Amino acid sequence: RHYVFRAVDTPEESRSGENWGLLSYSGNARPQLDTVSIIRTYFPSHFDWAERTYGSGGLNVTYTFHKSDLGTVSVTWGISTSTSTAKVPSERKDGVAIVVNQFGQRARISSIDGIFEVPLLPAQNFRWSHPEGICRVGSPPIIVIESGHDDLLR
């Protein structure tokens, strides 16, 4: 995971190795800048309504944005100590979507009986000692875009 607190690292951060900016002090792009680009490209700028669902008995969470400028866009991630499969509903029984990982790598998937099945890794930071278990940092997120934009599916 990468965290961002400013646009450009300070000289002190550069010397200490604790870099929190989108750009290093020398002006080089850091991985966080790629994340901003992925969000800008694959996340809707507007939508009619959104919903949050928990799947696989609470092993993952999905936010779905309906009637957006990109189509139906869902973001899903694991929140448990084990792998899980998010079941993201499709707008169509035979829907086609792209999935985008945290690095911007894309793959085309098809729904099975109106469901996109998205495999997810375990949460990266889970408080094992808490009686109810608390997910501090979920698994790497996956974006699912069911779109009318053919250019996204290429």
Q: Is the pLDDT of residue 1 over 50?
A: no
Element containing residue 36 per DSSP (H, E): helix 31-42
Residue 148: pLDDT band (50, 70, 90) is low
Exposure b/e, 29-63, CB count within 10 A at least 16 = b: ebebbebeebeeebbbeebeeeeeeebbeebbbbe
Residue 30: pLDDT band (50, 70, 90) is confident
pLDDT at residue 2, as a whole number: 47
Instruction: Quick: pLDDT tens for 82-141.
Output: 889 999 999 888 899 999 998 889 999 999 999 999 999 988 765 655 556 666 677 889
Instruction: Quick: pLDDT tens for 59-87.
Output: 889 999 998 888 899 999 988 888 899 99
DSSP letter for 104, please. -
In angstroms, what CA-CA distances link 121 with 16, 86, 92, 137, 141? 32, 11, 26, 12, 9
Q: Are 98 and 108 in contact (CB under 8 A)?
A: yes
Residue in the block written with tokens 């309504």: 49
CA distance 34 to 30: 8
98 or 57, greater pLDDT: 98
Q: What is the mean predicted confidence (pLDDT) over 19-40? A: 77
Question: What is the identity of the amino acid at 61?
Answer: V
Closest CA relative to residue 145, chosen from 27, 77, 64: 64
